[in-house]
Amino acid sequence: MSTAEPNDDRQLAEALCGLGDERAFRVLYRRHTPRLYAVLNRLAAGSVHEAEDLVQETWIRAVDALARFRWDAQFSTWLISIGVNVARDALRRRGRRPEDDWHDSADVALPPQPHGDRVDLERAIHALPDGARTVLVLHDIEGWPHESIADRLGISVGTSKSQLHRARRALRTWLTAAPEGNRA
């Protein structure tokens, strides 16, 4: 690879796969890790250490699978998709199945209202059940369509829509209950 950093993720991936170019990996890592970390941190309910572990495992799996990537999607979308799978695997290892949270229950308990002059929306998102939080992050924050979410998570499109509704309802209830001075 030349001393200039290519803008094309595909060129970087080819340099990494073909030549084992460490500089190409570093460029890809710096370019895509901030967004990947943000998604995985939300899926890990704000656990910094778990999110960092998930990022590391995601990159390990991505580099292992890079030669098989068909480039029919953006590199960042493919990488985040791997990260979602890594996060689901982590839930399973903790003895929890994300599917346990796919069923509607009564109201979702959200954290107590913060003190101060703004609502902590991130904290409210982290407090959502895993299923609702995952769908909310993928749909509303990352912009994935319900069909892609359903396919990636192994759930029905209806379940994805139901979980999104559940998450939005819980957040709306929490935000509505916030005293006037605490609303963002």
Nearest CA to 127 out of 154, 107, 109 is that of 109
Identify whether the C-beta of residue 168 lies closer than 8 Å to the C-beta of residue 102: no
Q: What is the CATH number of the domain that holds 75?
A: 1.10.1740.10
Residue type present at position 24: A
Query: What's the CA gap between 129 and 110, in Å, rounded?
Result: 10
Percentage of the chain lying above the pLDDT 90 cut: 51
Give the global pTM. 0.74
Query: What's the CA gap between 144 and 134, in Å, rounded?
Result: 11
Nearest CA to 122 out of 139, 141, 106, 143 is that of 141
pLDDT tens digit string along 137-175? 999 999 999 999 998 888 999 999 999 999 999 988 887
pLDDT tens digit string along 66-91? 999 999 889 999 999 999 999 988 87
Q: Which is more confident, 1 or 65? A: 65
Identify the domain boundary among 93, 119, 145.
93
The residue range of the domain holding 168 is 100-178
Identify the domain boundary among 93, 120, 146.
93
Query: What's the CA gap between 134 and 167, in Å, rounded?
Result: 9
Whether residues 41 and 80 share a domain: the answer is yes
